[in-house]
Every structure is written in C-alpha cells, then in structure tokens.
Structure 1
Amino acid sequence: MDESLDGMVRWHARHRADASAVICGDARRSYSELYDRSGRLAAGLLATGLKPGDRVAILLPNCIEYLELYLAAARSGLPLVPINAALTGPEIAYILEDSGAALVIAADGLDVPEGLPVIRDLAALIDGGSALEAVVPGPDAVFFQGYTSGTTGRPKGCVQTLGAFVEHFRRSFGLYRHDADDVMLMPGPLFHEAPALFSLAQLYYGGTVLLLSRFDAATALTEIGTHRATTIGFAVPTMLDRMIPAAREHDTSSLRSIVTAGAPLHPETREGTLRAFPTAALHEFYGGTEIGIITNIEHRAGRAFGSSVGTAVPGFDVVLLDETDQPVAPGEVGLIYVSPIMMAGYHGRPQATADATRTLDGVDWLTLGDLGRLDEDGHLYLVDRKSHMIITGGENVYPAEVEAVLAEHPAIDDVAVIGLPDADWGEAVTAVIATTGEAPDLDSVRTFARARLAGYKTPRRVVIVDEIPRTASGKILKHRLRNDLAGGEPPSEPGGR
C-alpha cells in the first residue's frame, strides 16, 4: 500500500468515497470530492507553466481550498509557502522575495506586491483543470516552506519534505490516535505548520476535519456539539481561555482529546480547561516549525508535573547543553537540542542552519534557541523561549523587529520591547520608551507601528522611563526590565490583531 500523503488520501477516496473529509461552515467535501478537486488543482497549477520545485505562496483565510492546495502540493511537487495575511505589504514582500515564490494564490481584496502572477479564482482553476497526469513526488521532495523568525527577527524559511510530514503524521497518530471515526475541530490558521500538520494527519488517517474559517469561542463550542467533535486538534492557550467561560452552556461530551501548544499554558488555563471539558484529555506538546512534536504531556494524568511540557515522544531525544556544548545535569538550565532533525534546512541560509545544529558522538542535534531544564524523570520545563521572543495569542513577536520600527518614531529617543504577563493574550507586547521631549501615548505608538507591522506585533502597553538599562557594550538588559515591570500596572488598552 502506498503510504504517502497522496496514497493514503487516494485510498480513502476509493474505499470511503462519501465519507466527510472536511467541513467548514456550510461547505463540505467528501473524500472523493477532495481527491478529485486537489488533482484538478494540481493539474491547473502545472498548466500555468510551473515546474515541480517552484514555490507557490498562499495568502488565504482558513477554507477548504487551503487543504486542497496542501494536497495539490503533495501531488504536483509544488512546495507551498503559506503566509499570514495579517502581515503588512513590506512583510509579505520580504517573504515572497526570500522564498523565491513563482506564483501567489490570494484572497479577493488582499493587496499583493507587484511582480508575481496572482491567482484569485481557484474555482475557475479547478473547474478548468483536467485529470492530473502522473506526477509522483518522492519523500525527499520539498513540500512546505513555512516562515519562522530567528533571534534577529528576520523571517527564515523552514524547508520540510513530504517524507518529514508523513513522519509527523505517524508521530501524531502514536500520541493522539487519529482514526476514521474522529471529527477534529481545527480552530488554528492553516498558514501555521501545526494546524496544517494536524489537519493533514486527520485526512491521512481518514477522519473529518471540522475547520473554522476564523476562531470564535461561541462558534467553536457550537460546532463541537453540532458535529459531535471528538478532538480539538490544535488550540493555542488563548483560544482555550476564550472557550472556558462558555463551555458549560454547550454539549462538549463528545470530546476525548484537546491538544495545545504555541504559548505558555498558565496554571489557571490548564486547570480551567480540565474542569470545563471533563471528558477530554489535555495534551500539551513542545515543538516548532523546524521539528514538529518533540515532547508531550497529558495534563489530567500528569498533574504532579505541573508546568512540564512532557517527555520526549518515541523515536526522539532531547539533550540540554551548556555554553561549551556539554550536557547539563538534571535540574540545571541548558539550551534545548533535539534529534533527529526533521527539517531540510533554512531556505538559502546555510550558516543559520549550521548555527542551529551540533554534532555529538556522531548524532546531529538541532536547537530552536529555547532554554529549559530536565528533571530526573525526563520531563522538560521551558525556562525562556527563543531568548527574548514574545508569544502573544499564539503568535510569535520578535522585539528587534518592533524596536526597529519604533526607533523611527519622532518622539522616541530609545526603546526596548518586551513581553509582560497578560491574562488574555499570554504576553502583552510592551514598548519601554525613553524620550527627552513630550512622551508619546499608546494611541500614537500603536498608530505609528500599525502602518508598518501586523496588528498582533503592535504594542498593547507603553511604559515611559528615564533611561533604558544597558550593559557596557550597549545590550539592553531586558531581564531587568521584565523583572521591574512584571509586578506593576503599566498603561494598557485593548488593541486589534
């Protein structure tokens, strides 16, 4: 049996033709429809003159067509470059240029930088497409090039092959047991790797993906009851926070499993989720675009381990290294490295790939730059996430990028951007500003930043100080700022994403 992504979905299309593959609002696709449409989409894209290996950038909201595009990529050899449509024009232009995208598929009304062909009418492409001629990308073919940022805040393209994604599916099955009877609610955006990975794993094993076009807590809870969803495939903690207060008003008794990651799971969120969804196991994993799922913990059974993100999943190992690349003792803090390495590398950045890897006793290891500690039982506890990275509502924000924009504000002499604890967003993007003139207010800072950055990157709080603390070499002492401000009440107000 062909156990590639294409082969497994083809099997379901043949043997379970009418089974529901994807539901999104009032739209539905059976497995036979999904497979036929993805083949026509693949043929239509190749008919534009694209060749296997050419990158196709995607700027779409969650929709069934997004998953059809992933399957078309698996059948055509055209790797996808999913892009967050909330990014600004310059941010999108950078990713398009860096990725080498040959074509863009974008939603109506969304501005796309000039210079590349754009397809907006996927229905016409599918309806006009013929049956796909034999194109069989192998496991080493590039499938996904998702953009993740490094310590400088400049996005890097993380290259994943078809074979790596299938390994992810099998790992997910071993942990969460996808099967043909499962209905998986997917509230996360498909431009992120984890929602895409979990959705495709569900299709790989023949279940139903219950896709939300955008996250709304009331809609999510209603859909769970209406379709008797058995799992929430991937939800960042902020989503769980939104669902907890209203969960008792809905029938969620069909749920057996909830999976979360992407931001710190605070104790109140963890315990609130366990109370609000009493039939469901609560899984939390540690991973990333480069590595998929590395550790996992089920919190209902693992309450004794508190904030642990779990132990290494079967087939993978975790080691913590000190500054001399030597393993640290249990309980000591070290840089987290994982093995085996699943990504093919950072696109066009061999040095960045080399900087993130180490070889110990003939084994290659990769780090995301996170610090952690391991206890005697092998449970991993995160200490800091990618140095100074801020995680707000499940989205990664890199202070250097925001600081570079705010430094251009005419009323700002010096600035540091940090994340401070926030009950709604996990962390609030906070601009600490020094100025010799009239201090800008929050509205001024947000308006200035929003013209240049995505909404989720703009500051939700502004703190005015006399001086930004720095080392003798000029580096900002961000740990001091966080410690000084975390217990206070800096000015804040809601802001849009």
Structure 2
Amino acid sequence: MNALSAAAPLQGFWQLVHGPLAHWAQHRPDAVAFQSEAGFWTFGRLHAEVEQRSARLATQHAPQMLLLDASRSTLEQLVDFLAVIHSGRCAAVANPDWQPAVRQRIESWLPGQPCEPESAAPTTAFYTGFTSGSTGLPKGFKRHHLSWTESFRVGLQDFGPVVAQRTLAPGRISHSLFLFGAMQGIWYGCGAVMQEKFSASRCLATLAGGDTPCLVAVPSQLLLMLQWAEHRQLAPIPEVELITISGARWMRAHTPALRALFPKARIIEFYGASEASFVAWMDADEASGPQAVGRPFSNVELSIRPTGNDAVENALAEPGTSHAGDGLIYIRSPMLFMDYVGDAHDATAVLRDGDWLSVRDMGHIDERGMLCLAGRQSRMIVTQGKNLFPEEVENLLASHPAIAQVSLHGLPDTLRGLQVHAVLQWRPQIEAPSALELNQWLRERTEAFKVPRQWWICEHWPQTASGKTDHGQLAQALRARMTAPADAGISPALLPALQPWQS
C-alpha cells in the first residue's frame, strides 16, 4: 500500500471502488484477488474478464442499474459486480432468499431503459444494497464510489497497515459487510477469501493456513467458530492479526475465549449502518460498559440532539460533547449513502438535516469521548411513565449463561401504558433457571421497572437476512398470542411459535 497515503485526500483511480484493479493487475498480475471453494481469480485474469464483461454491457446498452443474478456463485457475482461498476453503471445485489413476489417488486423499482453512461466518477452511484425494512419489503439503499473508498482510506488511517492484508470475508455478498470486505481486498491489492456457504470449520482451517491474517465477521459466525474450536479442542491460531466485528452487537463476555483462540489478533468492533458506513470503533477488550460502541472514525463528526419536533432546529453540539441524557445521534461524514431505492414508504427511514444524517439510533457521548448507544428510537418502550430501551435489558439478559437469544417488547397495558414482555431462547445443554430465579438475577442488575412482567420461549429463532434477530416477527407473534385470531392481522401459523414460561 505504499502507493497510497492513508492520510491524504484520495486522488485519481483511488477514488473509485474498482479503480485500483488495473493498477494491481499490472503490478501483481499473478497474485490471487478472489478465492473460494469454487475456485480463484488472479488480479490479471480478473481485470481482463471485468473489462470484457463491461464492454459487453456497453454493447448491449444495458440499463443504468442492474440486479445481479443471485443464483450464480459468489465469485461469479463478484466479477459481475466489478463489470457493472466498471461500465459506469450501478450494481444492485439481490438476496438469494427473496421470494419471487419480492424479487419482482424490487425489479419494478429499477430503471429498464437502455443507457450509455459516462465513465464512473467518485460521486456516481455504484452499488444498491438491501436491508430489512418496516414495510415487509427490503429497503434499498444507494451509494456512490467515494462513500466506500473513503471507508477504505480511513480504515487504513485508523487501524493501521494491518488492515491492508489478505482478508477472509465468509458470507454472502447480499450482506454489505462481506461485499465491503471483498472490495476492500481489491482496493488494497491484498485479495479476499470468500465462502460460497459459511462453514466454521473451513474458516478456522483457512485462518490457520497462515496466508489470511485478517477476518471480517458478524458475531454469530465468531460464536460458531468458538463452539467448533472448543468441540474439536483446536490449538490456538496465532496467524490471525486482525478481527473486525460488525453487523450486530458483540457480547464482550466472549472476548476472552476469542482472544484465547486468536492470541495475536487485535479484535475491533465497529458501529455503523447501511446508510452511514463507518461511524465509531473500539477494541473489543477495552474496559467499557455494554452501551459503548467507541470513538468516531477520524473522518466522522457526531451531534447528539434532543428528540421532538424541534430537534432539527436545535443548535448542534460541539464535537465531543452531548446534550443531557440520550438524544438522536446525527452523523456527518464523506461516507454517507445517497438515497433510498423503491416506492415503499418506510417509517424507519433516516432523518436528514443538510449534510447531517440520523439512522434514528439514540445515545450520548460520555466523558471519555466514547459514543454510547441507548437503542433505536422506534423500539423505545414507555412503561410506568419511564423510557426503556430494549437493547439495554437484552444485553443484560444475553450475558446470562443459560440464554442464547433475547428480544424485549412492550404490549398495551391499561395500568402501565406498555407492559414489558421478553422472548427467550435457551442455550442447549445448560439448565435453565426458574422464572423467579431469572427475575431475581435481573433485579440485582437493573431497575425494577425494566424487569419483564411476562416471559415467552421461542425454540426456532427468527433472523433477518443479515443474521440479526427479527424483532418485527417476534412482535407480530406476541400480538397474535395476546389477541383474538381475527384481530391478529396475520395467520399465527406464519409466525414464530411462542410458549409462555412460568417454570
């Protein structure tokens, strides 16, 4: 990476996600750019194939935005992705799990007219991804090149040269974290190892091989690796130098086990969003409370603003300060997304104020300058006249040795406004506590009004496409259990099965 100064403003081809591919094809033609169990591409072969497919799109006068074929292998999708953006077009990345009706609806959002785009530019759209929305349809978000190349640059600046090494990104590219990891490997010139289907054992074997020092993963993947390593009594893997964790909250109680398995790795959590990219980061073993998500990246500014209709009119907080209590977190950086794609209004859409953006997360900045998340505004529960952020109680309960998953909800109650309900999934082969014991355990760690009044068990835990808990499905299941079938709004057979727990 000596061709690029991490601290300098990006210039020339470094401003484009695919820009450095030609550079590395010239200087490192035989180095492996992409690899998976399905095969590999060297930088030289990859560049030639990308140019060929890009020229074919130009000859066909393909539309400005193209939805990738999710039935193809991960490696083929990555080549298609690079070809689309090389041609000056925007690549939309489909989820292979979409139902036909969902895919058809999303295809209807995309332009179908033939076009002859100009060459790719730093602020032209290159990527449309999809994340879970509140309407039942995926929420499309569109990005320009500079929003990711600035992320690559600031990662190098803030994490250091260790990040610019061959990286394992073992997930579908429909999850933007793994597509980001793959493109980062191209941009840095170090290459990326992908997986057609996630396998904890193959991940550990790849990392132990010694030529893939960096790992990008979501928490659920790391937990599966830890379980596999414990089950097989694997030796520590000192070859790993950097682990970056995102996609969901990492439970720091597992950090000692992760450190034991990867004794020489720096373990970094970063907080971000599909619409915001990088926001804040911290070392996973740093002595911080569960709400802390780190200090802002060096090209990010934060503003904590009070909620309410007058929030936008409030004066901005000075950098490093916060308003009293938790407020909406606003972000300003060169890494923000462009806009949404689609015709479905989504109540979880971002808030904008000029070049500031909020994904509706709430929190504060503590005395050390650390951003602390309270939770998502849309999930806040008002009970007994007090504000409760489910994430706080979920984090506490998730630290209990018998609990694998937890989701907190508020249901209408004539006395309290909303009554707190908790849905749990037990860890296998660990004896579950009684409801009385769990209530007592939680009361010793938090205020009484935050303790759930009713507990439910869900054996088959619903997850979104990105591997996070699908709180929306669980909320629907709770409403279906608490109302007459005619009032539930959806057939209970289509929802996760919940059983009341009183034992």
What TM-score do the two structures reach when normalised by structure 2?
Answer: 0.69
C-alpha distance in structure 2 between counterparts of 1:173 and 1:60, whole Å: 33
In the alignment, structure 1 residue 298 sits paired with structure 2 residue 288: no
Contact 1:256 1:279 in 2 (8 A): yes
The secondary structure found in structure 1 opposite 2:303 is strand
C-alpha distance in structure 2 between counterparts of 1:383 and 1:56, whole Å: 36
The alpha-carbon deviation at position 334 of structure 1 amounts to 1.3
User: Superposition RMSD on alpha carbons, in Å?
Assistant: 3.8
C-alpha distance in structure 2 between counterparts of 1:270 and 1:378, whole Å: 23
Partner of 1:484: none
C-alpha distance in structure 2 between counterparts of 1:463 and 1:353, whole Å: 30
Contact 2:73 2:196 in 1 (8 A): yes
Which residues in structure 2 correspond to 1:40-55 (within 5 Å)? 40-51=52-63, 53-55=64-66
Tell me which of 103, 108, 127 is aligned to 1:92.
103
C-alpha distance in structure 1 between counterparts of 2:87 and 2:422, whole Å: 42
| Deviation sequence 1:67-124 (CA, Å, 0-9, x none) | 2122112210121111111122222222222234679xxxxxxxxxxxxxxxxxxxxx
Tell me which of 315, 330, 339 is aligned to 2:332.
339
Q: Residue 331 and residue 178 in structure 1: after superposition, are their counterparts in 2 closer, same or farther (change >3 A)?
A: farther
| Deviation sequence 1:421-474 (CA, Å, 0-9, x none) | 557777475321135579x9xxx94xx43xxxxxxxx52x4146xxxxxxxxxx
In the alignment, structure 1 residue 192 sits paired with structure 2 residue 175: yes
Tell me which of 161, 169, 194 is aligned to 2:152.
169
The alpha-carbon deviation at position 368 of structure 1 amounts to 1.1
Which residues in structure 2 correspond to 1:3-14 (within 5 Å)? 3=14, 4-14=16-26
The secondary structure found in structure 1 opposite 2:206 is helix
Partner of 1:377: 368
C-alpha distance in structure 1 between counterparts of 2:424 and 2:112, whole Å: 37
Structure 2, unaligned runs of 5 or more: 1-11, 381-389, 395-406, 410-418, 428-460, 462-467
Tell me which of 178, 183, 193 is aligned to 1:210.
193
The alpha-carbon deviation at position 384 of structure 1 amounts to 1.8
What TM-score do the two structures reach when normalised by structure 1?
Answer: 0.70
Tell me which of 191, 211, 231 is aligned to 1:228.
211
Partner of 2:482: 434
Q: Residue 437 and residue 151 in structure 1: after superposition, are their counterparts in 2 closer, same or farther (change >3 A)?
A: closer
Tell me which of 294, 319, 327 is aligned to 1:310.
294
Which residues in structure 2 correspond to 1:250-269 (within 5 Å)? 250=235, 252-269=237-254
Which shows bigger deviation, 167-176 or 17-26?
A: 167-176
For residue 287 of structure 1, what is the amino acid of its counterpart? G
C-alpha distance in structure 1 between counterparts of 2:47 and 2:162, whole Å: 18
Structure 1, unaligned runs of 5 or more: 104-132, 393-397, 401-415, 450-457, 465-487, 491-497
Contact 2:280 2:293 in 1 (8 A): yes
The alpha-carbon deviation at position 379 of structure 1 amounts to 1.1
The alpha-carbon deviation at position 286 of structure 1 amounts to 1.0
The alpha-carbon deviation at position 224 of structure 1 amounts to 1.3
C-alpha distance in structure 1 between counterparts of 2:184 and 2:51, whole Å: 19
Partner of 1:25: 37
The secondary structure found in structure 2 opposite 1:2 is helix
C-alpha distance in structure 2 between counterparts of 1:292 and 1:171, whole Å: 11
Contact 1:157 1:347 in 2 (8 A): yes
Which shows bigger deviation, 368-377 or 92-101?
A: 92-101
For residue 368 of structure 2, what is the amino acid of its counterpart? D
The alpha-carbon deviation at position 242 of structure 1 amounts to 0.4
Contact 2:66 2:84 in 1 (8 A): no
Q: Residue 386 and residue 159 in structure 1: after superposition, are their counterparts in 2 closer, same or farther (change >3 A)?
A: farther
In the alignment, structure 1 residue 320 sits paired with structure 2 residue 304: yes
Provide the aligned length of Structure 1 versus Structure 2.
Answer: 398
Contact 1:62 1:212 in 2 (8 A): no
C-alpha distance in structure 2 between counterparts of 1:57 and 1:418, whole Å: 41
C-alpha distance in structure 2 between counterparts of 1:309 and 1:32, whole Å: 40
Q: Residue 35 and residue 419 in structure 1: after superposition, are their counterparts in 2 closer, same or farther (change >3 A)?
A: farther
Q: Which runs of 4+ in 1 moved over 6 A?
A: 349-355, 389-392, 416-419, 423-426
| Deviation sequence 1:230-278 (CA, Å, 0-9, x none) | 0102x11111110113335155211011111111212333343223222
Q: Residue 434 and residue 172 in structure 1: after superposition, are their counterparts in 2 closer, same or farther (change >3 A)?
A: same
Percent of counterpart pairs with the same letter?
22
